[in-house]
Structure 1
């Protein structure tokens, strides 16, 4: 299993993975977080271009993707400001063929920063359980630019 930066040749496969993730979320009680068209293709392409989209692959087969950045998130800082930069995990998606995706992503992030934040929709019970299994602590509710609510989590390592 390998995690690497996505490149433009991965774009169609990443689109497929997000399609699968949207269908999974709808089937498991979370139809609103990504709806029918989120994340938008233009955002995915921008994530790849700006080298913040990563893919997870096994023997050349891409089975998951996510966004990882280091810095500050405007929406997080509004209620839960931090004095230090942190890693942010966004847009985690999988085709469903492998388990332990969030654990692998968190291990990847821990190799880069000591403070990690992630948010998810209140209806995304699958992600909430995965995040909590990794010992993230719930900080509270934040609001995105479109005014939708998300649960913000944080993991501190060695701070």
Structure 2
């Protein structure tokens, strides 16, 4: 099941991201999400904006985390070595 994340989920969300960083390093990707990204502050901001979600089973403990941003995502305001932007509406899943 999917639900919006709450601040009570943050410790488990941080654990999930730690495991994801370790898996990426083990797979030969040492740079993505380095330096503790995403930070607790960013998780709190995403929760406050209502864009952070968790996937959970019946115990309600998060097993996966994602951010869904409907509309413009500042991450993609400038795309290098890719197709140019257009005005087509979009959503971003992180």
TM-score by length of 2: 0.84
SS of 1:64's equivalent?
strand
Corresponding residue number in structure 1 for 2:63: 63
Higher fraction of strand: 1
Q: Can you give the 5+ residue segments of structure 2 that lack an aligned partner in the other structure?
A: none
1:84 aligned to 75, 80, 88, which one? 88
TM-superposition CA deviations, 1:55-88 (whole Å, max 9, x none): 0001123110010011123453435212222110
TM-score by length of 1: 0.52
SS of 1:44's equivalent?
helix
Q: Can you give the 5+ residue segments of structure 1 that lack an aligned partner in the other structure?
A: 91-159
Q: Deviation of residue 41 (structure 1)?
A: 1.5
Contact 1:25–1:31 at 8 Å: present in 2 too? yes
Please say if 1:44 is aligned against 2:48.
Answer: no
Corresponding residue number in structure 1 for 2:3: 4
For the aligned residue pairs, the C-alpha RMSD in angstroms reads 1.5
